[in-house]
A and B are shown apart, each in its own frame.
Chain A
Amino acid sequence: MLIDCHMHVRGRPDGSLDEEYCDRTIEAGDLLGIDVFCISDIDLTGGARYERFHQANDRVKQAVERYPGRYLGYCFVNPGDPRALDEVRQRVRDEGFIGVKLYHQYRIDEPVQEPLLELATAWQIPVLMHAGHPTDPDTMARQPRISDAAHFVRAARRFPEAILIEGHIGGGGDWEWALKHLREAPSVYLDTSGSVVDEWLVDRCVESIGVERLLFATDMTMEGGVGKVLDADLTEAQRRKILGESFQAILDRRAVS
């Protein structure tokens, strides 16, 4: 089973779910053999206020209901909002969301994240976070608080039992730099998504952090996401782990109470 652990749905300008995009994603999954998409909706309008991320999570819920079994939802929050923790509790415990999605409002190792990471650790739910180590001035200026692998190493030392997923190794940062750091954080997972389809990328990930910690994802780069895993020099057993088994094992660890 192929599980894309990092994908998105989106809203229309009026705030409703973009159902056409939602359907196109499923069609693409059918064409490319992706069985399950783990989705979030990152609405940054107005600085990721509670009303916005709550509405975004409503859209995720609608998408999951539209395609039960094909979509699983992450709860996106701005951890700086005082209602973030309650939003996660409600979505995960009462509505079946599988984990937490964080963007770059704060870095993963900042104190503001601690209540969320404590809850995620207690419930053994994954925390997927937008990440990268961009080296061009424009991207750095746009995302001054983006988390990189060094931040993940520090967060993992503080929360060694947390299931932290560093998003999109192919998302446009210096992936070689990231892999150097992630060797020091044996509890951190990494997803393969992003538009970068560098030859040798997936193989290098496996060489650096091992096959158990590498998770298949597209983050909307659909053909590239599938293709780069297919091309890596792996055994079929290793490929199956990356493509879905390892993330299924993460889902099976959940202990939500």
Chain B
Amino acid sequence: MKYFEGWPVVDSNAFIGNWAFRRLRRNDAAGVLAMMDAFGIARACVASADAILYKDSHAGNEKLLEETAGHRDRFWRYATLNPKYAGWERDLAWCVEREFKALRLYPYYHGYELTDPDLAKLVDAAIEAGLPISAPGRVVDVRQRHWMDTTQNLAPEAFLGLAEAHPKGTYVLTESIPGAAPESDFWRRMRDVALYVEMSRMTSVLGRSIQTMLEALGAERVLFGTGFPFKTPSPAFLKVHVLDTDDSAKRSIMGENARRLFGGR
């Protein structure tokens, strides 16, 4: 089902790998590629699902590189690192050398707050290396969490605070719903930093949170993402498909912004 036939669509929020708490399907490189072909996605920015729960997240990065090595033209990779774990400096350098495109953080799985001094060092190192810094608002809906899973979500305001504390960086917030009113101080602060928002949890109808974000932040800061293979792709596609804006804005969301963000590195 190709919603934007012929457009160079980029999925900025995909995963490869296993999740300990629920069986996923189509979660290897072949499965994600098959989904991309079916939905007309030219490229996907993939993070390692394994890396979220591995003690040594970098082992997930290594596995991700192995899986995607033969498909450099289809995948961009997130480097998942834990600033509280040994040796992240060397692991970050390893990822940069192998052209991982952005850093991925999971504060509530890796046991730190966004004000942690160790995180500050990792963020500064990522900025120095030219990597955007990304984090999801959540990995799963906590209402259906496994009993050993986290109960916490990452608040948009907390991630915004991280961006404000390191204003030279570029940031990507996935799996989140920044729900503030258009005229609120939240959006003014968002405009003052380079923070992109992936839209798969937002909506174009009823609550119209995507329109609020477009009004407050502009289409150039919004990224299309599916959340596959945790989530099914059509909901995100439909949100842009029925969005009451022009094709120029839709093209920005569906791929141009992500290419500008990840493609140049």
Residue positions of A touching B, CB distance < 8 A: 21, 24-25, 27-28, 31-32, 132, 134-139, 171-176, 195-201, 220-224, 226-228, 230-232
Contact = CB atoms under 8 A, between A and B. Distances in A.
Interface of B: 1, 22, 24-26, 141-147, 151, 203-206, 227-239, 242
A55 B195 CA distance: 45
Given A32-B205, A222-B206, A134 B143 contact: yes
Nearest to B143: A172
Shortest 8 CB-CB distances between A and B: which pairs? A227-B234, A172-B143, A227-B235, A28-B205, A223-B238, A224-B235, A231-B232, A31-B242
B237 A199 contact: no
18 contacts: A28-B242, A31-B242, A32-B242, A137-B151, A195-B141, A196-B144, A197-B227, A198-B230, A198-B232, A200-B25, A222-B203, A222-B205, A227-B232, A227-B234, A227-B238, A230-B1, A230-B234, A231-B232
Given A31-B205, A199-B231, A230-B234, A135 B242 contact: no
A173 B146 CA distance: 10
Q: Is the interface of B mostly helix, strand, loop or mixed?
A: loop
A172 B153 CA distance: 14
A199 B141 contact: no
A197 B205 contact: no
Given A137-B151, A228-B235, A21 B145 contact: no
Contacts of A24: 205-206
Contacts of A175: 144
Nearest to B144: A174
A223 B204 contact: yes
Contacts of B151: 136-138
A31 B236 CA distance: 15
Given A223-B235, A231-B232, 19 more contacts: A21-B206, A25-B206, A28-B206, A135-B147, A172-B144, A176-B22, A197-B231, A199-B24, A199-B25, A199-B229, A199-B231, A199-B232, A222-B205, A223-B203, A227-B234, A227-B236, A227-B237, A231-B1, A231-B233
Contact of B143 (A136, A201, A223, A228): A136
Given A32-B205, A223-B238, A227-B238, A135 B231 contact: no
Nearest to B200: A197
Nearest to B38: A231
Contacts, number: 95
Most buried by A among B203, B228, B235: B235
A197 B175 CA distance: 12
B232 A27 contact: no
A230 B234 CA distance: 7
Contacts of A132: 143
A140 to B, nearest CB: 9
A137 B150 CA distance: 11
Contacts of A196: 141, 144
B177 to A, nearest CB: 10
A136 B142 CA distance: 6
A200 B19 CA distance: 14
Nearest to A132: B143
Nearest to A200: B25
Contacts of B228: 199
A60 to B, nearest CB: 17
Contacts of B227: 197
Given A25-B206, A222-B206, A135 B232 contact: no
A200 B145 CA distance: 17
A42 to B, nearest CB: 16
Contacts of A223: 203-205, 235-236, 238-239, 242
Contacts of A137: 151
A228 B144 contact: no
A197 B25 CA distance: 14
B256 to A, nearest CB: 22
Contacts of A31: 205, 242
B2 to A, nearest CB: 13
A29 to B, nearest CB: 9
B231 A198 contact: yes
B143 A226 contact: no
A197 B22 contact: no
B232 A228 contact: yes
Nearest to A228: B232
B49 to A, nearest CB: 12
